[in-house]
Amino acid sequence: MKDVFLESKHIYLRPFKEEDIDIWHGWFNDKEVTKYSYHGVFPNTREDQRGFLKLIKKDSSSLQLAIVLKRNNKLIGVVGLHQINYIHQNGDVSIVVGDKNFWGLGYAKEAVQLIVEHGFMKMNLNHITAGMVVSNKGSSNLFKKLGFIQEGLKRKHKYINGKFE
């Protein structure tokens, strides 16, 4: 394991590296991976991802980390805290398991648990939200299992598969 920042039973989280770009950028061009996200509207190039990597290294209002399997150091996804407001002590969590071979195996749950615990215990956040579209049953179930509660519903907020959700 290299550059471990947070770890659980099966995964660890670490900062992204330049060598991750070849894998990472492809996730955001995959229609299945981006089905429920803002990604996938425009092509994502290696240069775009390289620029994003530089941006997140400087952004104190975001913490974006690579999800890596402990058993073989394989990069499988990304988890983050975003829109962190240190005055109001809140932020928003995001998760993408980009490697579809690892969907539904509990790695997203481990990753979200790690970053949420870090947000509360180390970053002194008081409130962490997670936004998703209604049809994203996987995310909805994940966040319910982790104790998140629905606080609101934005109607016709996102255009997905030919309709607004």
Q: Which two tokens stand for residue 9?
A: 């039973």
Q: pLDDT tens, 64-110?
A: 999 999 999 999 999 999 999 999 999 999 999 999 999 999 999 99
Task: List, for residues 23-57, the tens digit of each pLDDT value.
Answer: 888 888 888 887 777 776 777 788 888 888 888 88
Distance (Å, whole) CA 81 – CA 70: 22
Query: What pLDDT sits at residue 40?
Result: 65
- Tell me: the pLDDT tens digits for 77-88? 999 999 999 999
End-to-end, the C-alpha distance of the chain in Å comes to 41
- Cβ atoms of 74 and 98 closer than 8 Å: no
Alpha carbons 131 and 134: distance in angstroms, whole number: 10
In this prediction, residue 1 carries a pLDDT of: 53
